[in-house]
Amino acid sequence: MDRSKIVAIITGAISLILAIAYLVIVQVLDFRGEMLPAPQSQIDVPVQVASISHLAPVTTPAKD
Rounded to 5°, angle at Cα 35 from 32 and 36: 130
Whole-structure pTM value: 0.50
Sort 62 into a burial class: Cβ within 10 Å, 0-12 / 13-18 / 19+: exposed
Q: What is the pLDDT of residues 17-64, one digit of tens each?
A: 999 999 999 999 888 888 788 777 777 767 777 666 666 655 666 665
Give the model's pLDDT for residue 4. Answer: 94
For range 8-24, the mean pLDDT: 98
**pLDDT range class, residue 12, cuts 50, 70, 90:** very high
